[in-house]
């Protein structure tokens, strides 16, 4: 992170693997407010090859993302991985932390032989994914109780 104008430096962000249970509180707070913690568990969270990542600033977990083996809607690609559960706390947004999480997830998928990564991107986050090389597929759609999204893909 850049130095502040006063010359003080902020702690450098650190992305590292975390347990599935570690991502649940931020999923609940940011992605599923008002839902029970159990409703924040996604299919594939407990798969042995699923990757869960957290970004820490000064020891504080401020962002999360998960990636699991899953074919995109209407496809049977066994080498595809789904990026999901991306969230950064509000006071840390627009600082490049989401991009660091996307990069960690993409590296995880590459190391495990992925040919394609996809996600259901919230409309407000499309730019983040485009900056990482994803492209939109189809029209905007609404996930009930969550909001507007686009299907986005990235060929590795």
DSSP code string of 71-121: PPTT---TTEEEEEEEEE-GGGTTSSHHHHHHHHHHHHHHHTT-SEEEEEE
The whole model's pTM is what?
0.90
In tens, the pLDDT along 124-141 reads: 999 999 999 999 999 999
Return the structure tokens found at 125.
């986050």
User: What is the reported pLDDT for 51?
Assistant: 98
Instruction: Beginning with the edge strand found earlier in the chain, give each strand of the sheet holding 60-69 in spatial order.
Output: 14-17, 51-57, 60-69, 80-88, 116-122, 147-155, 135-143
| CA separation for the pair 112, 53 (Å, rounded) | 16
Return the structure tokens found at 27.
């999923």
Helices and strands per DSSP (H, E), number in the chain: 3, 7
* Rg of the chain taking only CA atoms, in angstroms: 16
Domains of the chain: 14-155 (3.40.630.30)
In tens, the pLDDT along 83-93 reads: 999 999 999 99
In tens, the pLDDT along 101-128 reads: 999 999 999 999 998 999 999 999 999 9
| CA separation for the pair 156, 153 (Å, rounded) | 10
């Amino acid at each position: 992170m850049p130095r502040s104008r006063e010359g003080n430096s902020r702690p450098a962000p650190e992305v590292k693997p975390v347990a599935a249970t570690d991502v649940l509180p931020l999923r609940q707070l940011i992605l599923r407010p008002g839902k029970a913690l159990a409703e924040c568990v996604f299919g594939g969270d407990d798969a042995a090859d699923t990757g869960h990542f957290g970004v820490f600033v000064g020891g504080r977990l401020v962002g999360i993302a998960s990636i699991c083996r899953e074919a995109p809607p209407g496809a049977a690609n066994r080498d595809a991985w789904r990026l999901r559960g991306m969230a950064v706390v509000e006071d840390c947004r627009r600082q490049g932390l989401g991009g660091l999480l996307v990069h960690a997830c993409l590296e995880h998928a590459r190391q495990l032989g992925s040919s394609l990564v996809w996600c259901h991107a919230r409309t407000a986050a499309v730019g983040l994914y485009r900056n990482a090389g994803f492209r939109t597929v189809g029209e905007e759609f609404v996930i009930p109780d969550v909001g507007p999204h686009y299907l986005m893909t990235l060929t590795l």
